[in-house]
């Protein structure tokens, strides 16, 4: 059923956007993290999306119409911010600490776009549901 395919596509987008939101909240949580298992300060994470078929054996839907999935999560390798704080345990010899390369304002705007994209996909699922309900009204 095509209506259910719309829901699958929407659902894949919701999963993708919530993974993106996970990455953003991870970035915000680690805005002051100077130590990581791989060494050095935390590095900004971002997600890469890839289109993907979102149907389980749906024959009625065209192949070109695809859902989305998170392909990979990448680390931003740009230089860490250097902050002068000699009292910090991770400070170098010259008193500078390497802080994560995260811009809080950027993360907040990313968070808003992720939330909006999520809302948009919820709206598409809702409208497919409304369409299904309208179709059922034919029989009434």
Partner 1 sequence: MSGIDPIGQMPGLIQQQTAQNGVREPDGETFAQTLTQAVARTEGLQDKAKQAVQAFNTGESQSLHDTMVAMEKADISLRFMTQVRNKAVDAYKQIMRMQV
Q: Which is nearer to partner 1, 7 or 102 (CB)?
A: 7
Please spell the DSSP secondary structure of 50-108, one letter per residue. EEE---SS-SSS-TT--EEEEEEEEE--SPPEEEE-TTSTT--TTSEEEE----HHHHH
Q: Which is nearer to partner 1, 72 or 140 (CB)?
A: 140
Q: Which is nearer to partner 1, 15 or 30 (CB)?
A: 15
Q: Which is nearer to partner 1, 66 or 129 (CB)?
A: 129
What is the nearest approach in angstroms of partner 1 to the Cβ of residue 10?
7
Backbone angles phi, psi at 62, to 5 degrees: -75, 145
45: DSSP letter: E
Number of neighbours of residue 34 by Cβ within 10 angstroms: 19
Residue among 60, 91, 133, 134 that touches partner 1 (CB under 8 A): 133
Residue among 2, 14, 31, 124 that touches partner 1 (CB under 8 A): 14
For residues 81 and 76, what is the distance between their CA atoms, to the nearest angstrom?
13
3 near partner 1, judged by CB under 8 A: yes
Please name the residues in contact with 66: beta carbons below 8 A apart, sequence gap of 6 or more.
Answer: 9, 51, 52, 53, 54
Q: Which is nearer to partner 1, 15 or 66 (CB)?
A: 15
Residue among 26, 33, 101, 129 that touches partner 1 (CB under 8 A): 129
Which parts of this chain interact with partner 1 (CB under 8 A)? 3-4, 7-8, 10-11, 14-15, 18, 122, 125, 129, 132-133, 136, 139-140
């Amino acid at each position: 059923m095509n209506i259910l395919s719309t829901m699958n596509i929407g659902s894949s987008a919701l999963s993708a956007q919530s993974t993106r939101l996970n990455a953003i909240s991870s970035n915000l949580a680690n805005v002051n993290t100077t130590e990581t298992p791989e060494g050095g300060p935390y590095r900004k994470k971002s997600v890469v999306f890839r289109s993907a078929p979102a149907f389980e054996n749906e024959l009625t839907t065209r192949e070109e119409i695809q859902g989305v999935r998170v392909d990979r999560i990448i680390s931003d390798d740009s230089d860490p911010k250097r902050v002068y704080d000699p009292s910090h345990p991770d400070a170098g010899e010259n008193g500078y600490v390497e802080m994560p390369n995260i811009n809080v304002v950027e993360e907040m705007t990313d968070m808003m776009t992720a939330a909006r994209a999520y809302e948009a996909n919820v709206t598409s699922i809702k409208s497919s549901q409304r369409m299904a309900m309208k179709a059922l009204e034919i029989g009434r």
